[in-house]
Chain A
Amino acid sequence: MFRNQYDTDVTTWSPTGRLFQVEYSMEAVKQGSAAIGLRSKTHVVLACVNKANSELSSHQKKIFKVDDHIGVAIAGLTADGRVLSRYMRSEAINHSFTYESPLPVGRLVVQLADKAQVCTQRSWKRPYGVGLLAFAIGSRSQAAKTYLERRFENFTNSSREDLIKDALIATRETLQGEKLKSSICTVSVVGVGEPFHILDQETVQQLIDTFELVTEEEPPAPEPASEPAAADQGGAEQGAGAEQGAAPDEGVAPMDI
């Protein structure tokens, strides 16, 4: 009925059984600027590098509030990220409206994963080219990941301030020598009794100034598991687009639906 002469297939198989579009979309995430998440027993911190293309333009927003208890940081195609953020906000509001209680993060993650999967199975669609934070994603995030891998076992019992400090240090690692200023990074916090919010520039600059006076001590060198802590909170790696996951609320097992 709808046949035409054009090749409308966007997502196709490779001879080795992989989906090109999915690989490409994961690459898009790797090219995006870094986003990092850490969690303790009581708090979660998201931080990201926000570099504007020129001094004249404003920064691309990378952290979005989804609900009082959920926030996401994105890396990759920001437009795709905004679309997904809008979807998540809508889901959170609808859930609250129907059940008068906050949407459990695990369910949001699953809904999102299912939505993203659809794009890998319809030939005329392409996957979302954006990663929603699992642990550390984006370009030069490996440096951040390495820092986090050394430290993550200690995060569980960190205080809110230490957690933010660690997030900032990890962010600094991705900058490769460039000075960390509050104008190029964004930090957000959610925790027990603390709704998700983005810290304002002044507060962030104060925090940066505070810890830069303290040199980083050589950490003991444990051999950590291959995945940093917060990774477990995200969804499992799906064929869809990129690593999925929203910064979780502490205490809610993500897959506990």
Chain B
Amino acid sequence: MTKQQANWSPYDNNGGSCVAIAGADYCVIAADTRMSSGYNILTREYSKICKLADKAVMASSGFQADVNALQKQLAAKHLTYQHQHNKQMSCPAMAQLLSNTLYYKRFFPYYAFNVLGGLDSEGKGCVFTYDAVGSYERVGYSSQGSGSTLIMPFLDNQLKSPSPLLLPAQDAVTPLSESEAVDLVKTVFASATERDIYTGDKLEIVVLNAGGIHREYMELRKD
């Protein structure tokens, strides 16, 4: 009697890559806009980036239906927070909330690979990186998604953070300027697009700094 195998899966992978880089007083969050299923492209213009609060922006790759459900949950919880505390959630608070929300579904997870970027209460850039069930860590930069294996080593090379185990604690944020960081992101995505079939079409870049939120786009290869 062989074990019965599932004849369908509740999950699908819509592909794509996300990146976030923390600077001294800014944060860059970027993701491509291609949404795929298997070898097909569903659309070339789908945003994976979601603004959760004034100072917290999330980019998620994976199963976009789960990503949408997750974003709605977080938005609703954020509204409740605002009613109760009369202010927006800070980025570290949102980071914890996201972790808890993901773990809540530990036994039927959101198929979402997230990076959360924003400004902490001191105005410094912060990036949090997650797995599908909510394990998270504050880092200086991160990438998730189908292109992350191509992107991450490159970011390590350019931005290597000091180990979080070192004493005295060293700053994880990159000394790069905002425009340098944006250029780095563009380079990184152009490279990933070459070799990862699920990454391409267009790149959406969101920059968070003291002046607010700024969004720009760049064309990527469409093959």
Chain B interface: which size bin? under 10
Contact of A65 among B72, B76, B80, B83 (CB under 8 A): B83
Q: Is A156 an interface residue (CB 8 A)?
A: no
Question: Which residues of the partner chain B approach A96 to less than 8 Å between Cβ atoms?
Answer: 76
Contact B83 A97 (CB under 8 A): no
Collect the chain B residues with CB atoms within 8 Å of residue A86's CB. Answer: 83
**A93 contacts B by Cβ under 8 Å:** yes
Main secondary structure, interface of A, reads: helix
A93→B72 contact, CB < 8 A: no
B51-74 toward A: CB 8 Å interface, digit per residue (1/0)?
A: 000000000000000000000100
Residues of A contacting B76 in the complex (Cβ-Cβ under 8 angstroms):
93-94, 96-97
A67-93 interface code vs B (CB 8 A; 1 in, 0 out): 000000000000000000010011001
Q: Number of A interface residues at 8 Å Cβ cutoff, please give it.
A: 8
Whether B79 is near chain A, meaning CB under 8 Å from some CB there, is yes
Mark contacts of A84-110 with chain B using CB atoms, 8 A cut-off: 1 yes-contact digit, 0 otherwise: 001001100110110000000000000
Residues of B close to A93: CB separation below 8 A: 76, 79-80
Q: How close is A126's CB to chain B, nearest CB, in angstroms?
A: 26
Contacts of B80 in A (CB 8 A): 89-90, 93
Per-residue CB contact flags for chain B residues 103-139 toward chain A (1 = under 8 Å, else 0) read 0000000000000000000000000000000000000
| CB-contacts of B76-116 with A (<8 A) | 76, 79-80, 83
Complex Cα–Cα for A90 and B76 (A): 9
Chain B residue contacts of A65, Cβ below 8 A: 83
Nearest-CB residue, chain A, relative to B69: A97
> How far does the Cβ of A135 sit from chain B's closest Cβ, in whole Å?
25
CB distance from A141 to the nearest CB of B (A): 27
Give, as a whole number of angstroms, the nearest-CB distance from B94 to chain A: 17
Q: Which of A86, A93, A94 has the most CB of B within 10 A?
A: A93
**B-side interface residues toward A, CB under 8 Å?**
72, 76, 79-80, 83
> Which A residues are within 8 Å of any B CB, using their own CB?
65, 86, 89-90, 93-94, 96-97
13 A-B residue pairs with Cβ-Cβ distance under 8 Å, sorted by A, are A65-B83, A86-B83, A89-B79, A89-B80, A89-B83, A90-B80, A93-B76, A93-B79, A93-B80, A94-B76, A96-B76, A97-B72, A97-B76
